[in-house]
Amino acid sequence: MLVIKIGGSLTDLDPLLQDVAACKEPLVMVHGHPPRMVTSERGEVSRFTDATTMDHFLMAYAGKQNKRIVERLRALGANAVGLTAMDGGIAIGRRKPDLRIQEAGKVKMLHGDHSGSIEKIEPKLLRLLLDNGFLPVVTPPGISHEGVAINVDGDRLAMEIATAIQAERLLIFADTPGFMRDVSDERSVIPLIHLEEIEGMAEYGKGRARVKLRAAGQAIRRGIQAVGLLDGRGEHPLTRAFEGAGTWVTT
b/e per residue, 93-132, with b = 16+ CB within 10 A?
bebbeebebeeeeeeeebeebbbbebeebebebbeebbee
Question: Quick one: pLDDT at residue 107?
Answer: 65
CA distance 48 to 101: 10
CA distance 196 to 50: 39
Q: How far is CA 48 from CA 35, 83, 139, 208, in A?
A: 8, 22, 17, 16
Element (H, E) at 91: strand 91-95
Task: Please state, rounded to an integer, the average pLDDT across all residues of the chain.
Answer: 89
38-92 pLDDT tens trace: 454 455 555 667 778 888 878 888 889 999 999 999 999 999 999 999 999 999 9
CA distance 245 to 164: 26
**pLDDT grade for 27, boundaries at 50, 70 and 90:** very high
Non-local CB neighbours of 160 within 8 Å, separated by 6+ positions: 91, 118, 121
b/e per residue, 163-181, with b = 16+ CB within 10 A?
bbbebebbbbbbebbbbbe
78-88 pLDDT tens trace: 999 999 999 99
183-235 pLDDT tens trace: 889 999 999 999 999 999 988 887 778 888 988 999 999 999 999 999 999 99
CA distance 3 to 223: 13
Of 32 and 33, the one with more pLDDT: 32
